[in-house]
Protein backbone atom coordinates (compact mmCIF):
# COMPACT_ATOMS: atom_id res chain seq x y z
CA UNK A 1 0.00 0.00 0.00
CA UNK A 2 1.34 3.37 -0.96
CA UNK A 3 0.49 6.04 1.58
CA UNK A 4 1.03 9.76 1.68
CA UNK A 5 0.57 12.27 4.44
CA UNK A 6 1.12 15.98 3.81
CA UNK A 7 2.29 17.88 6.85
CA UNK A 8 0.81 21.32 7.22
CA UNK A 9 4.17 22.69 8.24
CA UNK A 10 7.19 22.97 6.06
CA UNK A 11 10.21 20.84 6.87
CA UNK A 12 12.06 23.95 8.05
CA UNK A 13 9.19 24.87 10.36
CA UNK A 14 9.15 21.40 11.87
CA UNK A 15 12.88 21.58 12.58
CA UNK A 16 12.53 25.04 14.08
CA UNK A 17 9.74 23.87 16.36
CA UNK A 18 11.85 20.92 17.50
CA UNK A 19 14.76 23.18 18.39
CA UNK A 20 12.50 25.62 20.17
CA UNK A 21 10.97 22.92 22.36
CA UNK A 22 14.20 21.15 23.31
CA UNK A 23 14.37 22.65 26.81
CA UNK A 24 10.73 21.82 27.51
CA UNK A 25 11.34 18.20 26.54
CA UNK A 26 14.14 17.82 29.02
CA UNK A 27 11.97 19.26 31.76
CA UNK A 28 8.92 17.06 31.15
CA UNK A 29 8.17 14.50 33.85
CA UNK A 30 4.84 13.12 32.64
CA UNK A 31 4.38 9.99 30.55
CA UNK A 32 2.69 9.87 27.13
CA UNK A 33 -0.79 8.91 28.36
CA UNK A 34 -0.84 11.47 31.20
CA UNK A 35 0.39 14.20 28.85
CA UNK A 36 -2.32 13.37 26.30
CA UNK A 37 -5.10 13.27 28.91
CA UNK A 38 -4.08 16.56 30.49
CA UNK A 39 -3.93 18.24 27.07
CA UNK A 40 -7.73 17.87 26.90
CA UNK A 41 -7.92 17.30 23.13
CA UNK A 42 -7.24 13.54 23.07
CA UNK A 43 -10.28 12.17 24.92
CA UNK A 44 -11.15 9.70 22.15
CA UNK A 45 -7.55 8.52 21.91
CA UNK A 46 -7.40 8.04 25.68
CA UNK A 47 -10.64 6.03 25.63
CA UNK A 48 -9.32 3.92 22.75
CA UNK A 49 -6.03 3.22 24.54
CA UNK A 50 -7.96 2.07 27.61
CA UNK A 51 -10.26 -0.19 25.56
CA UNK A 52 -7.25 -1.68 23.77
CA UNK A 53 -5.33 -2.30 27.00
CA UNK A 54 -2.41 -0.14 25.88
CA UNK A 55 -2.37 2.45 28.67
CA UNK A 56 0.17 0.59 30.80
CA UNK A 57 2.46 0.07 27.78
CA UNK A 58 2.52 3.77 26.93
CA UNK A 59 3.10 4.66 30.57
CA UNK A 60 6.15 2.41 30.78
CA UNK A 61 9.81 3.33 30.67
CA UNK A 62 10.42 2.33 27.05
CA UNK A 63 10.48 5.41 24.84
CA UNK A 64 7.84 5.73 22.12
CA UNK A 65 6.90 8.24 19.47
CA UNK A 66 3.13 8.68 19.10
CA UNK A 67 1.46 10.28 16.10
CA UNK A 68 -1.62 11.24 18.08
CA UNK A 69 -4.95 11.95 16.34
CA UNK A 70 -6.90 14.70 18.05
CA UNK A 71 -10.58 14.35 18.96
CA UNK A 72 -11.35 16.25 15.75
CA UNK A 73 -9.33 13.70 13.81
CA UNK A 74 -11.37 10.80 15.18
CA UNK A 75 -14.55 12.76 14.42
CA UNK A 76 -13.63 12.69 10.70
CA UNK A 77 -14.02 8.92 10.57
CA UNK A 78 -17.30 7.57 9.13
CA UNK A 79 -20.21 7.68 11.56
CA UNK A 80 -20.16 4.78 14.00
CA UNK A 81 -16.53 3.79 13.33
CA UNK A 82 -15.18 4.78 16.74
CA UNK A 83 -18.09 3.17 18.58
CA UNK A 84 -17.55 -0.06 16.63
CA UNK A 85 -13.83 -0.12 17.31
CA UNK A 86 -14.40 0.38 21.04
CA UNK A 87 -16.52 -2.77 21.31
CA UNK A 88 -14.76 -5.66 23.13
CA UNK A 89 -15.14 -7.98 20.13
CA UNK A 90 -13.12 -5.54 18.00
CA UNK A 91 -10.23 -5.18 20.44
CA UNK A 92 -7.62 -6.73 18.13
CA UNK A 93 -8.55 -4.44 15.26
CA UNK A 94 -8.41 -1.44 17.61
CA UNK A 95 -4.96 -2.51 18.82
CA UNK A 96 -3.79 -2.81 15.21
CA UNK A 97 -4.98 0.74 14.42
CA UNK A 98 -3.52 2.33 17.56
CA UNK A 99 -0.14 0.58 17.38
CA UNK A 100 0.14 1.81 13.78
CA UNK A 101 0.39 5.31 15.27
CA UNK A 102 3.29 4.33 17.55
CA UNK A 103 6.97 4.11 16.58
CA UNK A 104 9.52 2.56 18.97
CA UNK A 105 12.04 5.06 20.34
CA UNK A 106 12.00 8.82 20.60
CA UNK A 107 11.84 10.31 17.10
CA UNK A 108 11.92 14.09 17.19
CA UNK A 109 10.84 16.29 14.29
CA UNK A 110 14.46 16.86 13.31
CA UNK A 111 14.76 13.09 12.77
CA UNK A 112 11.37 12.66 11.10
CA UNK A 113 12.38 14.88 8.19
CA UNK A 114 15.40 12.63 7.52
CA UNK A 115 13.35 9.43 7.18
CA UNK A 116 11.77 7.75 4.18
CA UNK A 117 9.75 5.32 6.31
CA UNK A 118 9.34 4.27 9.92
CA UNK A 119 8.44 0.84 11.29
CA UNK A 120 5.58 1.01 13.76
CA UNK A 121 4.76 -1.16 16.76
CA UNK A 122 2.02 -2.63 14.56
CA UNK A 123 4.73 -4.11 12.32
CA UNK A 124 3.70 -2.21 9.22
CA UNK A 125 5.52 0.94 8.13
CA UNK A 126 4.37 4.51 7.73
CA UNK A 127 5.95 6.16 4.70
CA UNK A 128 7.80 9.43 5.08
CA UNK A 129 8.55 11.71 2.15
CA UNK A 130 10.18 15.12 2.06
CA UNK A 131 9.30 17.00 -1.11
CA UNK A 132 10.85 20.44 -1.07
CA UNK A 133 9.35 22.12 1.97
CA UNK A 134 6.61 19.50 2.46
CA UNK A 135 6.91 16.45 4.69
CA UNK A 136 4.58 13.54 3.93
CA UNK A 137 3.61 10.54 6.10
CA UNK A 138 0.47 8.62 5.26
CA UNK A 139 -2.63 10.79 5.02
CA UNK A 140 -2.57 12.96 8.16
CA UNK A 141 -1.39 16.53 8.52
CA UNK A 142 1.00 17.33 11.35
CA UNK A 143 -0.48 20.15 13.39
CA UNK A 144 1.93 20.13 16.35
CA UNK A 145 5.30 18.51 16.93
CA UNK A 146 7.59 17.48 19.78
CA UNK A 147 5.23 17.51 22.74
CA UNK A 148 7.59 16.44 25.51
CA UNK A 149 6.93 13.33 27.60
CA UNK A 150 9.05 11.49 30.14
CA UNK A 151 8.98 8.33 28.03
CA UNK A 152 8.91 9.70 24.49
CA UNK A 153 7.33 12.33 22.34
CA UNK A 154 3.94 13.14 20.81
CA UNK A 155 3.32 14.59 17.35
CA UNK A 156 -0.29 15.67 16.76
CA UNK A 157 -2.02 14.73 13.49
CA UNK A 158 -5.39 15.74 12.10
CA UNK A 159 -6.49 12.33 10.75
CA UNK A 160 -6.49 8.75 11.93
CA UNK A 161 -4.05 6.75 9.78
CA UNK A 162 -5.06 3.17 9.06
CA UNK A 163 -2.87 0.10 8.55
CA UNK A 164 -3.68 -2.57 6.00
CA UNK A 165 -6.41 -4.88 7.29
CA UNK A 166 -5.89 -7.46 4.51
CA UNK A 167 -3.66 -10.50 4.94
CA UNK A 168 -1.16 -11.57 2.26
CA UNK A 169 -3.57 -13.57 0.04
CA UNK A 170 -6.26 -10.88 0.29
CA UNK A 171 -3.73 -8.16 -0.55
CA UNK A 172 -2.48 -10.15 -3.56
CA UNK A 173 -6.05 -10.79 -4.70
CA UNK A 174 -6.91 -7.10 -4.43
CA UNK A 175 -3.90 -6.21 -6.61
CA UNK A 176 -5.35 -8.29 -9.44
CA UNK A 177 -1.99 -9.34 -10.93
CA UNK A 178 -1.31 -12.49 -8.89
CA UNK A 179 -4.09 -14.84 -10.05
CA UNK A 180 -1.68 -17.64 -10.97
CA UNK A 181 0.20 -17.30 -7.69
CA UNK A 182 -3.03 -17.49 -5.69
CA UNK A 183 -4.23 -20.51 -7.69
CA UNK A 184 -0.89 -22.18 -7.03
CA UNK A 185 -1.03 -21.37 -3.30
CA UNK A 186 -4.49 -22.93 -3.13
CA UNK A 187 -3.39 -26.06 -5.02
CA UNK A 188 -0.35 -26.39 -2.75
CA UNK A 189 -2.43 -26.01 0.42
CA UNK A 190 -0.56 -22.87 1.50
CA UNK A 191 -3.36 -20.30 1.65
CA UNK A 192 -4.00 -20.93 5.36
CA UNK A 193 -0.29 -20.51 6.16
CA UNK A 194 -0.12 -17.26 4.18
CA UNK A 195 -3.25 -16.04 5.98
CA UNK A 196 -2.00 -16.73 9.51
CA UNK A 197 -0.76 -14.41 12.22
CA UNK A 198 2.92 -15.28 11.77
CA UNK A 199 4.58 -12.46 9.79
CA UNK A 200 5.98 -13.47 6.41
CA UNK A 201 7.73 -11.82 3.49
CA UNK A 202 6.64 -13.00 0.03
CA UNK A 203 8.59 -12.42 -3.16
CA UNK A 204 5.58 -12.65 -5.44
CA UNK A 205 5.85 -13.49 -9.15
CA UNK A 206 3.20 -11.74 -11.22
CA UNK A 207 0.92 -13.48 -13.71
CA UNK A 208 3.30 -12.28 -16.44
CA UNK A 209 6.19 -13.92 -14.57
CA UNK A 210 4.44 -17.29 -14.53
CA UNK A 211 3.60 -16.84 -18.22
CA UNK A 212 7.31 -16.86 -19.07
CA UNK A 213 7.66 -20.48 -17.89
CA UNK A 214 7.72 -23.15 -20.62
CA UNK A 215 4.29 -23.97 -22.06
CA UNK A 216 2.35 -26.42 -19.89
CA UNK A 217 4.51 -25.95 -16.81
CA UNK A 218 1.91 -24.20 -14.65
CA UNK A 219 -0.86 -26.59 -15.66
CA UNK A 220 1.33 -29.55 -14.79
CA UNK A 221 2.39 -28.14 -11.42
CA UNK A 222 -1.25 -27.55 -10.47
CA UNK A 223 -2.04 -31.26 -10.78
CA UNK A 224 -2.65 -33.02 -7.43
CA UNK A 225 0.19 -35.49 -8.00
CA UNK A 226 2.66 -32.59 -8.21
CA UNK A 227 1.48 -30.85 -5.02
CA UNK A 228 4.76 -31.40 -3.15
CA UNK A 229 6.84 -29.98 -6.02
CA UNK A 230 4.55 -26.96 -6.29
CA UNK A 231 4.70 -26.35 -2.54
CA UNK A 232 8.51 -26.50 -2.62
CA UNK A 233 8.66 -23.87 -5.37
CA UNK A 234 6.23 -21.54 -3.61
CA UNK A 235 7.94 -21.89 -0.22
CA UNK A 236 11.18 -20.87 -1.91
CA UNK A 237 9.52 -17.47 -2.44
CA UNK A 238 8.63 -16.99 1.26
CA UNK A 239 10.93 -15.75 4.03
CA UNK A 240 9.95 -15.78 7.74
CA UNK A 241 9.41 -12.36 9.29
CA UNK A 242 8.52 -8.95 7.90
CA UNK A 243 11.50 -7.82 5.82
CA UNK A 244 11.29 -4.43 4.12
CA UNK A 245 13.24 -3.41 1.04
CA UNK A 246 16.03 -1.61 2.89
CA UNK A 247 16.86 -4.79 4.80
CA UNK A 248 16.44 -6.92 1.67
CA UNK A 249 19.20 -4.93 -0.01
CA UNK A 250 21.46 -4.52 3.02
CA UNK A 251 21.34 -8.06 4.41
CA UNK A 252 21.65 -9.69 0.96
CA UNK A 253 21.01 -13.31 1.99
CA UNK A 254 17.84 -14.85 3.43
CA UNK A 255 16.82 -18.37 4.38
CA UNK A 256 13.42 -19.27 2.94
CA UNK A 257 10.61 -21.36 4.40
CA UNK A 258 11.67 -23.98 1.87
CA UNK A 259 15.14 -24.04 3.44
CA UNK A 260 17.02 -22.67 0.46
CA UNK A 261 18.79 -19.32 0.34
CA UNK A 262 17.85 -16.18 -1.57
CA UNK A 263 20.57 -13.72 -2.54
CA UNK A 264 20.00 -10.11 -3.56
CA UNK A 265 22.16 -8.10 -5.93
CA UNK A 266 22.38 -4.63 -7.41
CA UNK A 267 23.50 -4.04 -10.98
CA UNK A 268 23.26 -0.76 -12.87
CA UNK A 269 20.85 0.54 -10.26
CA UNK A 270 18.46 -2.42 -10.61
CA UNK A 271 17.81 -4.80 -7.72
CA UNK A 272 17.32 -8.53 -8.17
CA UNK A 273 16.93 -11.60 -6.01
CA UNK A 274 18.19 -14.94 -7.28
CA UNK A 275 18.15 -13.41 -10.73
CA UNK A 276 14.53 -12.23 -10.56
CA UNK A 277 14.06 -8.49 -10.92
CA UNK A 278 12.42 -6.59 -8.05
CA UNK A 279 9.76 -4.49 -9.77
CA UNK A 280 7.81 -3.26 -6.71
CA UNK A 281 8.52 -3.41 -3.00
CA UNK A 282 7.02 -2.94 0.45
CA UNK A 283 3.37 -3.74 -0.24
CA UNK A 284 1.99 -3.93 3.28
CA UNK A 285 -0.32 -6.70 4.45
CA UNK A 286 -1.71 -7.23 7.93
CA UNK A 287 0.56 -10.26 8.42
CA UNK A 288 3.59 -9.37 6.34
CA UNK A 289 4.94 -7.66 3.28
CA UNK A 290 4.98 -8.42 -0.45
CA UNK A 291 7.78 -7.65 -2.90
CA UNK A 292 6.92 -8.13 -6.57
CA UNK A 293 9.33 -10.01 -8.86
CA UNK A 294 9.34 -10.53 -12.62
CA UNK A 295 10.18 -14.24 -12.80
CA UNK A 296 9.59 -17.48 -10.91
CA UNK A 297 12.53 -18.62 -8.80
CA UNK A 298 13.35 -22.33 -8.63
CA UNK A 299 14.74 -23.95 -5.47
CA UNK A 300 17.95 -25.94 -5.68
CA UNK A 301 17.57 -29.68 -6.20
CA UNK A 302 18.01 -31.85 -3.11
CA UNK A 303 21.40 -33.62 -3.09
CA UNK A 304 21.33 -37.32 -3.95
CA UNK A 305 21.64 -39.74 -1.05
CA UNK A 306 25.24 -40.62 -0.31
CA UNK A 307 26.55 -37.74 -2.40
CA UNK A 308 29.87 -36.23 -1.29
CA UNK A 309 30.21 -32.55 -0.50
CA UNK A 310 33.45 -32.17 -2.46
CA UNK A 311 33.02 -29.75 -5.37
CA UNK A 312 32.98 -31.29 -8.83
CA UNK A 313 34.31 -29.67 -11.99
CA UNK A 314 30.83 -29.34 -13.45
CA UNK A 315 27.75 -27.15 -13.49
CA UNK A 316 24.28 -28.10 -12.22
CA UNK A 317 21.44 -26.97 -14.48
CA UNK A 318 17.78 -27.04 -13.37
CA UNK A 319 14.53 -26.54 -15.26
CA UNK A 320 10.83 -27.34 -14.86
CA UNK A 321 9.63 -30.12 -17.14
CA UNK A 322 6.49 -28.82 -18.92
CA UNK A 323 4.95 -32.31 -19.11
CA UNK A 324 5.38 -33.46 -15.51
CA UNK A 325 6.02 -30.25 -13.57
CA UNK A 326 9.09 -31.96 -12.12
CA UNK A 327 12.13 -29.85 -11.31
CA UNK A 328 14.79 -31.65 -13.34
CA UNK A 329 18.44 -31.18 -12.50
CA UNK A 330 21.35 -32.49 -14.52
CA UNK A 331 25.08 -31.97 -14.39
CA UNK A 332 26.89 -30.52 -17.34
CA UNK A 333 30.57 -31.44 -17.36
CA UNK A 334 33.27 -29.02 -18.31
CA UNK A 335 33.97 -31.09 -21.41
CA UNK A 336 30.36 -30.94 -22.60
CA UNK A 337 30.36 -27.17 -22.39
CA UNK A 338 33.28 -26.75 -24.76
Q: Is the pLDDT of residue 24 over 90?
A: no
Mean pLDDT across the stretch 113-136? 82
Q: Are residues 24 and 127 in the same domain?
A: yes
C-alpha triplet 152, 156, 157: angle, nearest 5°: 135
C-alpha–C-alpha distance, residues 15 and 20, integer Å: 9
Confidence tier at 308 by pLDDT (50, 70, 90): low
C-alpha triplet 306, 311, 316: angle, nearest 5°: 85
Pairing verdict, β 276-285 and 270-273: antiparallel
- Say if 319 falls within a structural domain: no
Using the 3D structure, point to which of 157, 187, 215 is the last residue of a domain: 157
- Say if 220 falls within a structural domain: yes
Q: Are residues 37 and 71 in the same domain?
A: yes
Q: Are residues 188 and 271 in the same domain?
A: yes
pLDDT digits (tens, 9 = 90+) for 89-116: 999 999 999 999 999 999 998 898 888 8
- Say if 337 falls within a structural domain: no
- 204 closest CA partner among 296, 288, 299, 325: 296
Q: Are residues 174 and 152 in the same domain?
A: no
Q: Are residues 127 and 245 in the same domain?
A: no
**Which CATH number characterizes residue 258's domain?**
2.30.180.10
- Say if 180 falls within a structural domain: yes
Using the 3D structure, point to which of 293, 311, 326 is the last residue of a domain: 293
pLDDT of the residue at 29:
82
Provide the domain count of the chain. Answer: 2
- Say if 281 falls within a structural domain: yes
334 secondary structure, DSSP code: T
Q: Are residues 123 and 229 in the same domain?
A: no
- The domain of 195 spans 168-293
Confidence tier at 317 by pLDDT (50, 70, 90): very low
Q: Are residues 194 and 277 in the same domain?
A: yes
Q: Is the dihedral of CA 249, 103, 283, 235 positive or negative?
A: positive
Q: Are residues 257 and 279 in the same domain?
A: yes
Q: How far apart are the first and last CA of the chain?
A: 49
- Say if 314 falls within a structural domain: no
Q: Are 327 and 320 within 8 A, CB to CB? A: yes
| 3-state SS record for 165-206 | CCCHHHHHHHHCCCHHHHHHHHHCCCHHHHCCCCCEEEEEEC
Spatial CB neighbours of 110, under 8 Å, sequence gap ≥ 6: 14, 15, 18, 19
pLDDT of the residue at 132:
64
Q: Are residues 71 and 146 in the same domain?
A: yes
pLDDT of the residue at 11:
52
Using the 3D structure, point to which of 122, 157, 192 is the last residue of a domain: 157
Q: Are residues 146 and 174 in the same domain?
A: no
User: CB count, 10 Å around CB of 52?
Assistant: 21
Specify which of 63-72, 116-125, 299-308 reaches the highest per-range mean pLDDT: 63-72
pLDDT of the residue at 6:
36
Q: Are residues 134 and 189 in the same domain?
A: no
pTM of this structure: 0.78
Q: Are residues 13 and 72 in the same domain?
A: yes
- Say if 301 falls within a structural domain: no
- Say if 310 falls within a structural domain: no
Mean predicted lDDT score pLDDT of the chain: 84
Amino acid sequence: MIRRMVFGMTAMAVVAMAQGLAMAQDASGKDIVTTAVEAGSFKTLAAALKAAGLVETLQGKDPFTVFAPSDEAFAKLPAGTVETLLKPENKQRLIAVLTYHVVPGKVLATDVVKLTAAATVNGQRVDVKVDGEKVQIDQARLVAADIACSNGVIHVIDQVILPSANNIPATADKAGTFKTLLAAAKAAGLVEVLSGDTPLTVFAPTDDAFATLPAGTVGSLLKPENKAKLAAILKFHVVPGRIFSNEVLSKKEFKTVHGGTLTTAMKNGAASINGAGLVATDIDASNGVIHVIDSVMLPPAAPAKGAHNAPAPSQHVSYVCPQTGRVVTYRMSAASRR
